[in-house]
Amino acid sequence: MCGIAGIIDLVGARDIDIRVLKRMTDALAHRGPDGEGFFTEPGIALGHRRLAIIDIAGGVQPFKTMDGGGVLITNGEIYNFRDLKRRLEDDRLRFRTASDTEVMAEGLNLHGQDFIEQLRGMYAFAFWSRRERTLILGRDRLGERPLYYAQTPDGFLLFASELGAIRASGLAPLRRRLDALSDYFLFGYVPDPKSVYKGVFKLPPASTLTVRNGAEPILRRYWRPEFNVDREISFEDAKSTLISLIDDAVIAQMVADVPLGAFLSGGVDSSTIVAAMAESGATPTTCTIGFDNAAHDERAFARQIAERYRTKHHEDVVSVDAAALIDKIAGVYGEPFADPSALPTYEVSATARKHVKVALSGDGGDEIFGGYRRYPFFAREESVRRLAPLPLRRALFGAAGAVYPKFDWAPRAMRMKTTLQALGEDSISAYSRSVSAILPDRLSRMLSADFVDATKRYDRLSPVRDAAGADP
């Protein structure tokens, strides 16, 4: 990963204090240990911290286009940059490097925002068009790479890969946002476009922010997932298509000019990736961590995968000081984040760094392939919901759930309180209850009366309902 940061004047072309930008990039030093670079001219300042992956010598940033009309800083990698390079060469462009950075810069310079839709990869970038005096901020389709931005009271816009860099600038007033904290208590994180601070935003996935002098920034969504359900496909055809898609995705992400490996836990995500790497003909370097607590130690499963695919396997046993590690991770995330997997991910990253510079990892496999035990229960509840309208279910099941005792210690058949409550709600409310970090009734007892009063009209599930409308 790399780190990007910048400042643009929204009202004129004032000179920007490079010391402020340096404070921002210093806050991102852990993201880019291989180099630092700056670009400044009246009204704009761009900074970059680099982790070099492709074309170590040629991909230095900020990167100027051949004609000098554009400047790019980016964090990420473009997997299809070689195909895009050939297309741009057909447009008579000549390239000086073998980097994906140059392809991205020249493509944006020639085609503008239309070029973003051709990118396949993980990225957050800032592109400055010197001719048009326009800044484009962009983020990849699934939001793998972070990007925050904020407007200051004196007419500047700041952006950076992490909240810590915005904070380090000293230009943006940071006040806690209560509805964002309310989201955190439900989801375990603060969903975009909000951050935990008022006036500081996350650029949403698959979005751009266009910033021009004297005009309001324009937020645009350039891609949405399509749900084309082919229910006529056979199981064998579906299986072969899925394997082909996974293989293509993994092979595309194995492009690097530095040592590359993979995290391996033995779970469905990492095991699938390692299998695809091995099937491509590579000998993967795999990294696993174990714990003193046997209940959380997955090394045995990881070894099975490592032995089957003959990887170069490395293990470390760690004794996690959770309190100390949480403090360290909190400084990186910059806002509340309650996913416990962040702790082992941090540790396995430290193990991998001893052997490789880039590691592939998986996320979302259980969600895509129905790996959680709650999914079949939810499916059965949903079949019951279809039999009766919500007002009737609320009167019957909701009332019963309110009085039914809670038996966490009893056999599952007797633990019906949660099921009854779920059947008395709509699908989204019920599912959110099942995955909530803290249940709403308990949360209201934990929070101050002022906090409850300030957020009582806030519907935390409204963005979820809007998104669910696109999913058949």
CA distance 172 to 160: 12
Q: Which amino acid is at 432?
A: S
**Is residue 139 a contact partner of residue 203, using CB atoms and an 8 Å limit?**
yes
Catalytic residue among 1, 2, 8, 430: 2
Token duo for residue 21: 């930008």
DSSP 288-336: EEEESSGGG--HHHHHHHHHHTT-EEEEEEE---HHHHHHHHHHHH-S-
What are the strands, taking DSSP E only, across 249-334? 260-263, 285-291, 312-318
CA distance 366 to 388: 30
Cα dihedral value 392, 398, 399, 402, nearest 10: 180
Q: Give the full edge-to-edge strand order of the sheet including 121-129.
A: 63-64, 70-78, 121-129, 134-139, 207-212, 218-221
**Is residue 329 a contact partner of residue 342, using CB atoms and an 8 Å limit?**
yes
Q: Is the peptide bond before 391 cis (omega within 30 degrees of 0)?
A: no
Axis-axis angle for helices 427-435, 374-385 (nearest 10):
160
Containing 219, the helix (H) or strand (E) segment is: strand 218-221
Containing 122, the helix (H) or strand (E) segment is: strand 121-129
CA distance 340 to 205: 23
Residue 469 dihedral angles phi and psi, to the nearest 5°: -65, -20
**Is residue 310 a contact partner of residue 278, using CB atoms and an 8 Å limit?**
yes
CA distance 21 to 44: 10
Catalytic annotation present for 2: yes
Which residues are catalytically annotated? 2
